[in-house]
Structure 1
Amino acid sequence: MVDPVFEEEQQHLSEAYAKLQEIERTLAAQLERSLAEALADKENMLDDLAMDFGNGVNLETYVEFEAMHQVIDAYNQTNDIREVELKKAQLLQHRPYFAKVTLQFKPGQPPRDVYIGAVGMTDEKQRHFIIDWRSPVAEVYYNQENGHTSYEANGRTIEVDLKLRRQFDIERDTLNSYFDTTVAIQDPLLLKSLRRERGGKLKDITTTIQREQNTVIRHEDVPALLVAGIAGSGKTSVLLQRIAYLFYRQRDNLKPSDVYLMTPNEVFARYIDNVLPDMGESNPVTLTWDAFVGKLGLGDRGLGKDSSGALLRAIDERIAAGIAFDNRDFADIRIDDERVITAGQVRGVVQRFAKRIPAGPRLAALVEEELEEKIYQRARRLAADEEVQEMVLELDTDETYRIFGGPIHPETEKDFRDLALQYLEDRYQAALEAVRDGRWLRIDRIGMRLLGKETLSSAEYLYLKMALTGAGNRHARYVMVDEVQDYTPAQLMVLARYFKNAHFLLLGDPNQAIKPGTASFDDIRAVFAALRGGVSECQLNTSYRSSPEITALFASLMDPDARMEANSVQREGTAPVVAAYDDAAAYEQALRQAVAGAVADGGLCAVVAANRDQVKALAPLLEDAGAQIVGKGSALPASGVVLLDLPLAKGLEFDQVIVADAQASLYGDDAISRHRLYTAISRATQKVTVLACGRLTPLL
């Protein structure tokens, strides 16, 4: 039987797809034509300039040179806009849109259909025929409230009547099906999406964002937003959608380099690196804690994961109480063998200011300003030195072009002095950077005296340096911390202070805190309340990853109150298998059978071991199954069997999980063991097998 709605929607899709193809052809032709015109103009202008240079360089030559640059810049700006639109048209051709809402803005007016896609697109008359999912009007789709509703746009609340909320399953210009829906838990497109075979990469969830997830994604901009979500609730997906949303809402002034994403490990970073590009956005700066410490040159001090928050608070307290500098707290500023600034000069400057200003960032700023002036004075003095002027003339061609932009031909004494000054200012850039980086202070020596320690960890060193000098990243606008429960209070204090002007999004699961000494959610609240003035919070209690049976098993390991809130939207699946074997041979046979069954089922199966030693012990048992051992630098395959330790498995998901060492000796009856087992089991989407060689963990 013919479905008139289906035919109507297919017709609309075909028309929209044809528009996208036409837009792509038009933009590609414009870019090709513009490139040819730009090359022709550039060649003509270069010919004119060559003639002018042949007749000698004068003011008119420089004016023409600047005019050429302006013409090239104009071409580049126009082409950049066209390239962005071309990429959007190409992206949308994979799936032009995924939803439609029918809205009535005023009683008596005809309703208006709004089609929502991964990005927005306008036609030749500048009318939006596809709306970006991040636009204000699209919020009525994600709020899932038929009838009277509203959305915020340009500071105004716009009241609308939502007549229809329709979802589409579309591939290019083919409509497979459509669904008219009202509430998330019955979302057919969501369920279909969740049933699709998972791959080795995380997918974006633009088409299936649920209401509790949308609350986080579109949350107002606050200094600190803490999100607690159960395993499989889409925390990482929500984080990435939030980044995409911020890029859209602040597209004129927010750059990828303004956003930092802290990830648990490099495997996880690779797992998510395609999501934002698939939505037409660039990836932010992505760092692990180890990489963050390493980039600051502090990797040889250890990672600072054992530092206590109390010790860092003691630094603030002692500096606030007032500290006196020792004569040996200051360092020379050197370039190779040249002492540009002596420790004695630093001491003199500090002592002069310290009479009226206590130790801290304000004092450091004044000291640095004076030390910079001393470096400039030194450069001006040495510029008159004949030896320095000789050094300038002896520079090789590459250095001459790098410093001066071309050949030099000094004639007068002033020419020599000016060139020498330019050379010295270039040479002393490293000294200026050292001053601005606070290297005139011996942080280690001050820290040893202040804290009574022989050595400072990376966290202690950096925190003390920030407290004394105000060092840090002033340009970052947002910092997103995934798996926040894995950080210590000290690490979070360092991040909050280092990224001093940034707003933080902190996502985690208190039940996945698998290492002792990490921050509780109360600790996290305390850190950011102190350093950001307050913390807003959201909850994600629905699992979109695991079957109800798997969700029930890992939820049984949660606190009773939280357990009541946990639920799954997946359809019923296979009951988990839990078995213990006293006999090692029987255990090994059961493990091999479980792996063989997983291979036969297809998809990706993870054998999760408690630690790296267990990985080594289990590897020989799984050689015949072709299990791939996953290390820190590895990428996940799309299918097969992988063997990895629990810390590496965190944040990832697999079709099947085999917890291969759930014996009481490795998973005791304590909070950390409970969190570790919860984490291992909750990696699975379809099937879980829990095996023990010896007595089974008392947690099960």
Structure 2
Amino acid sequence: MVEKEEVIRAEETARLSEVLGVIDRRLFKELSVLGDRRGDVVGIRQEFFDDVSFNFSDATELGETWSSIVQQAELLAERERSHRVASTAVERLAWQHDNPYFARIDFVEEGAGNPVESIYIGRSSLIGEDGETFYIYDWRAPVSSLFYDGEPGPVSYETPSGSIRGSMTLKRQFVIRGGQLKHVFDTDETIGDDILQAVLSERSDTSMKSIVATIQKEQNRIIRDEKHKLLVVQGAAGSGKTSAALQRVAYLLYRYRETLTPDQVVLFSPNPVFKGYVSRVLPDLGEANMRQMTFRELIESRLGRRWEVEDLFEQTEELAAASGTAEGDSREAAARYKGSEHFFATVRNYLERLKKQGVRFRPLRFRGDTIVSTEEMSAKYYGDFAQEDFGDRLIKLRKWLNERLNAWIESQIGETWLEEAAELADDEDIQRVYVQIRKQGGFHDEAFDDEDRMTDLLKRRVAENSIAPLRKAVKGFRFMDPMATYRELFRSRTLFTACAPDGKLPPKYEWMAMRADETLGRKTIDYEDATPLLFVMEALEGFRKVEGEVKHLFVDEAQDYSPFQAAFLKRRFPHARLTVLGDFNQAIYAQAEESGGFGGWTRLVPEEETAVWRLTTSYRSTRPIVEFSKRILKPEDAANITPFNRDGEEPSVLSCRDNNELAERVAKRAEELLAAGYATIGIIAKTAVECGDASALIKERLSEETPVTLVTGGSAKLPPGISILPSYLSKGIEFDAVIVWDASAEKYGREQDRKLLYTVCTRALHVLDVYFAGEPSPLLSFERKEAHS
């Protein structure tokens, strides 16, 4: 047996050496090209205008000068493109040299006389200098699916031209680091446990890694699904759902590289920290990053410029502060209802009524005088333009308002204020008017009215400058008042019940109406009102911001999106196929508590065009951490979570007298973990307010050299060392070690806190310590507590 292993290792080492030789020769060639192109670019930039002949004596010479400039610009652009291509090739070959491939399968196609082909699989393909020899196949190639889905014996794989059948005679995996063969495994499994154990036991980083070498069979189905318009992935914490989704993006960009660009793929991330965390995955696979945004950024881009908008984290903090009070209970009920399908249907019915009456407008005023009243706008909107759709009505109304502004300027020409303003015109305005008249043939011997024309033009220019803000408002449709229009829905019980699909008012309607009148009245927007208000605004504008060019929409932590938000995104990205990922057990926000899992998503697309995949094996954490975290959940919710068999130390639950002792012990433990070689340590408190207090207490107990960062909602990158962050910012992120700050009955005492505490604990890869001050959370009642010392 040992002798056979030595023969295999010698054979594979020789083959690796051959491949590295090919890579080295290609790298030398590309480096030479890169140097030449860099020199070309620098030279052209330095000598750009030396090679252009300037002559402006007449129109012909001017045209030739312009043509010369264009030719130089095109030459520079071509050299810059060549430089970028060579630079990308060098980068790819460099990481290929470090880890060229991770698997080999031997395959013989069905049919007499077909040879056995050894297929090596890596992150990117490598073709020989003859243009025909495949040294490495890209993991996304059709034949590579045999490695992820098949086992030795009869197999088949799908290609664009049909199914290929044959037999797999060998399945082998490698661990290659720094161009050195570390391990070789022959296996009958999709991914051998030995490989997984090696990869999962590695220390964490501040960025998510590619999983192409360890993709599981069930993940591969998600990655390569091209049939369904909606993919729903329910995955346990640490089951690799986000990683699979990012590999799916890379696969789609490879599979449809002639028709799909990164700009046509959008990923909604749960927070800015997560955006930075996953930003390296696609570049490491040789693909440009897709567009990333958070739902908060979408809201801010449309509403934040005009009004003060609360975000999800601010809402969460406010609900936590008001927990257990009548105000807090009412706010939670409002958040749940305004995210519901019932409210979406109500708003949609309201929009139907708005086609006939009810849209609110803002008057155009200048110095206290009304140029166009809201009554005039409404009469036009529901009169002459009544047969048009919302968007067309608004465009026609905008054109009419500009005509009214033109007419108003004409009416002001003889007014005293305008004459006085024209007399005070600055030199720049006078010069511009003079040039305009000269272009029109003025100021020559036969001209006799040039002074009058100048005065008239100056007046018009002054009048136009005076109403420039009104022109800008009209251009941006700000004469329409979406906030007042939305607010009306809560001002009339009769109107609301008429729009409600079941003709009923929701619970807490009176409180919601009072709250809407208060907040919207002062031009501030609660988070639960932001999406409905934006939906009303964009519907009235004709959905002019709809992103119809987007072909694939990915939504991570989809369980945190309300059904209303899901329906809104479907409307905003009308042609996109959807991939939504999440975990019911990590639904921590009020708006999603009663959403029925992924029901808000699955009801958007016909059942026959929907696939629901479940990932039950948790790979992130050690078995002891997974088993500990499962016991926080209700038994029925934990039943389908299976830990991968990776051993580790048992989680600790540790008692403290008060926050001072808590800070002492947490600071000491964090430094011990850093000294033990753990690169990323997350100290996770429930809220941002608690994080601020914890940070102050911990930092004064740490040495100045200890790397510690307070992570906030605006943070875009997860730093190495110790991170102190609130629970809701930890979603989707993993740490070598997690320290839970104060899992006491006071902080995690309600049933609503169960999933939040579970989410926090499942961030840990290798070490989990749970501290509490005072009484422990009842959610930890299964665990024997350490006696206070």
Q: Same fold (TM over 0.5)?
A: yes
- Answering whether residue 574 of structure 2 is matched by residue 493 of structure 1, we say no
Given that residues 333 and 439 in structure 1 are in contact (C-alpha distance below 8 angstroms), is that contact kept between their aligned partners in structure 2?
no
One-letter amino acid of the counterpart of residue 473, structure 1: V
In structure 1, what is the equivalent of residue 727 of structure 2? 646
SS of equivalent residue, structure 2 residue 16: helix
In structure 2, what is the equivalent of residue 509 of structure 1? 583
Q: Which runs of 5+ in 2 are unaligned?
A: 316-334, 414-420, 444-456, 492-515, 783-789
CA–CA separation in structure 1 for the residues paired with 2:32 and 2:442: 51
Given that residues 563 and 595 in structure 2 are in contact (C-alpha distance below 8 angstroms), is that contact kept between their aligned partners in structure 1?
no
CA–CA separation in structure 2 for the residues paired with 1:124 and 1:331: 71
Q: 1:10 to 1:593 in 2, by over 3 A?
A: same
Which region of structure 1 is more displaced relative to structure 2, 117-126 or 45-54?
A: 45-54
In structure 2, what is the equivalent of residue 697 of structure 1? 777
SS of equivalent residue, structure 2 residue 21: helix
Given that residues 201 and 271 in structure 1 are in contact (C-alpha distance below 8 angstroms), is that contact kept between their aligned partners in structure 2?
yes
One-letter amino acid of the counterpart of residue 413, structure 1: Q
Given that residues 497 and 531 in structure 1 are in contact (C-alpha distance below 8 angstroms), is that contact kept between their aligned partners in structure 2?
no
Q: Which residue among 220, 226, 231 is the counterpart of 1:225?
A: 231
In structure 2, what is the equivalent of residue 465 of structure 1? 537
Q: 1:686 to 1:35 in 2, by over 3 A?
A: closer
SS of equivalent residue, structure 1 residue 530: coil
In structure 2, what is the equivalent of residue 444 of structure 1? 483
Instruction: Please list the CA deviations of residues 147-192 of structure 1 after superposition, one character each: whole Å capped at 9, or x if unmatched.
Output: 2222222242222322222211112332122111221463322211
In structure 2, what is the equivalent of residue 402 of structure 1? none
One-letter amino acid of the counterpart of residue 740, structure 2: V
Q: Which residue among 111, 124, 129 is the counterpart of 2:135?
A: 129
Which region of structure 1 is more displaced relative to structure 2, 271-280 or 489-498?
A: 489-498
The normalised TM-score by structure 1 is 0.83
CA–CA separation in structure 2 for the residues paired with 1:594 and 1:38: 54
By how many angstroms is 1:542 displaced?
0.9
By how many angstroms is 1:568 displaced?
2.0
SS of equivalent residue, structure 2 residue 61: coil
Q: How does 1:278-357 map to 2 (within 5 A)?
A: 278-298=284-304, 300-303=308-311, 306=335, 307-309=338-340, 310-321=342-353, 323-325=355-357, 329=361, 332=364, 347=378, 350-357=381-388
Q: Which residue among 601, 605, 620 is the counterpart of 1:545?
A: 620
CA–CA separation in structure 2 for the residues paired with 1:393 and 1:25: 63
Given that residues 663 and 694 in structure 2 are in contact (C-alpha distance below 8 angstroms), is that contact kept between their aligned partners in structure 1?
no
SS of equivalent residue, structure 2 residue 244: helix
Q: How does 1:318-397 map to 2 (within 5 A)?
A: 318-321=350-353, 323-325=355-357, 329=361, 332=364, 347=378, 350-357=381-388, 362-365=389-392, 367-368=394-395, 371=398, 394=428
In structure 2, what is the equivalent of residue 165 of structure 1? 171
- Answering whether residue 322 of structure 2 is matched by residue 242 of structure 1, we say no
Instruction: Please list the CA deviations of residues 488-521 of structure 1 after superposition, one character each: whole Å capped at 9, or x if unmatched.
Output: 3333333333333333222111111223332556
Q: 1:329 to 1:616 in 2, by over 3 A?
A: closer
One-letter amino acid of the counterpart of residue 318, structure 1: Y
- Answering whether residue 684 of structure 2 is matched by residue 608 of structure 1, we say yes
By how many angstroms is 1:300 displaced?
0.8
SS of equivalent residue, structure 1 residue 685: strand
Instruction: Please list the CA deviations of residues 92-128 of structure 1 after superposition, one character each: whole Å capped at 9, or x if unmatched.
Output: 2221122222221233311112222212233322233
CA–CA separation in structure 1 for the residues paired with 2:486 and 2:140: 48
- Answering whether residue 109 of structure 2 is matched by residue 105 of structure 1, we say yes
Given that residues 331 and 439 in structure 1 are in contact (C-alpha distance below 8 angstroms), is that contact kept between their aligned partners in structure 2?
no
- Answering whether residue 17 of structure 2 is matched by residue 14 of structure 1, we say yes
CA–CA separation in structure 1 for the residues paired with 2:348 and 2:402: 31
In structure 2, what is the equivalent of residue 688 of structure 1? 768
Q: Which runs of 5+ in 1 are unaligned?
A: 400-407
By how many angstroms is 1:593 displaced?
6.5
SS of equivalent residue, structure 2 residue 767: strand
By how many angstroms is 1:249 displaced?
2.1
By how many angstroms is 1:468 displaced?
2.2
In structure 1, what is the equivalent of residue 498 of structure 2? none
SS of equivalent residue, structure 1 residue 550: helix
CA–CA separation in structure 2 for the residues paired with 1:608 and 1:44: 57
In structure 1, what is the equivalent of residue 184 of structure 2? 178
CA–CA separation in structure 2 for the residues paired with 1:198 and 1:488: 32
By how many angstroms is 1:369 displaced?
5.8
In structure 1, what is the equivalent of residue 701 of structure 2? 624
Q: 1:71 to 1:697 in 2, by over 3 A?
A: closer
CA–CA separation in structure 2 for the residues paired with 1:433 and 1:67: 39
One-letter amino acid of the counterpart of residue 91, structure 1: W
CA–CA separation in structure 2 for the residues paired with 1:689 and 1:165: 40
Q: Which residue among 647, 652, 657 is the counterpart of 2:738?
A: 657
Given that residues 174 and 181 in structure 2 are in contact (C-alpha distance below 8 angstroms), is that contact kept between their aligned partners in structure 1?
yes
SS of equivalent residue, structure 2 residue 144: helix
Q: 1:41 to 1:620 in 2, by over 3 A?
A: closer
One-letter amino acid of the counterpart of residue 458, structure 1: A
CA–CA separation in structure 2 for the residues paired with 1:242 and 1:65: 44
Q: 1:497 to 1:396 in 2, by over 3 A?
A: farther
Which region of structure 1 is more displaced relative to structure 2, 44-53 or 554-563?
A: 44-53
Instruction: Please list the CA deviations of residues 643-671 of structure 1 after superposition, one character each: whole Å capped at 9, or x if unmatched.
Output: 3332222222222323342333333362x
Instruction: Tell me the matched-pair count.
Output: 676
Q: 1:343 to 1:517 in 2, by over 3 A?
A: closer
Which region of structure 1 is more displaced relative to structure 2, 621-630 or 99-108?
A: 621-630
One-letter amino acid of the counterpart of residue 356, structure 1: Q
CA–CA separation in structure 2 for the residues paired with 1:33 and 1:377: 62
% identity of equivalent residues: 26
One-letter amino acid of the counterpart of residue 468, structure 1: L
Kindly report the root-mean-square deviation, in angstroms, between the aligned alpha carbons of the 2 structures.
4.4
One-letter amino acid of the counterpart of residue 267, structure 2: L
By how many angstroms is 1:683 displaced?
1.7
SS of equivalent residue, structure 1 residue 3: helix
Given that residues 346 and 371 in structure 1 are in contact (C-alpha distance below 8 angstroms), is that contact kept between their aligned partners in structure 2?
no
Instruction: Please list the CA deviations of residues 17-41 of structure 1 after superposition, one character each: whole Å capped at 9, or x if unmatched.
Output: 2222222222333344456567878
CA–CA separation in structure 1 for the residues paired with 2:222 and 2:34: 39
By how many angstroms is 1:596 displaced?
6.0
In structure 2, what is the equivalent of residue 524 of structure 1? 598
Q: How does 1:547-626 map to 2 (within 5 A)?
A: 547-580=622-655, 594-595=669-670, 597-603=672-678, 604-616=680-692, 618-619=694-695, 622=698, 623-625=700-702
Which region of structure 1 is more displaced relative to structure 2, 236-245 or 366-375?
A: 366-375
Given that residues 385 and 393 in structure 2 are in contact (C-alpha distance below 8 angstroms), is that contact kept between their aligned partners in structure 1?
no
Q: 1:320 to 1:37 in 2, by over 3 A?
A: same
Which region of structure 1 is more displaced relative to structure 2, 97-106 or 529-538?
A: 529-538
Given that residues 226 and 507 in structure 1 are in contact (C-alpha distance below 8 angstroms), is that contact kept between their aligned partners in structure 2?
yes
SS of equivalent residue, structure 2 residue 121: strand
Which region of structure 1 is more displaced relative to structure 2, 239-248 or 608-617?
A: 608-617
In structure 2, what is the equivalent of residue 403 of structure 1? none
Instruction: Please list the CA deviations of residues 45-103 of structure 1 after superposition, one character each: whole Å capped at 9, or x if unmatched.
Output: 96675165467526555555555555555545555544443332233222112222222
One-letter amino acid of the counterpart of residue 114, structure 1: I
SS of equivalent residue, structure 2 residue 257: coil
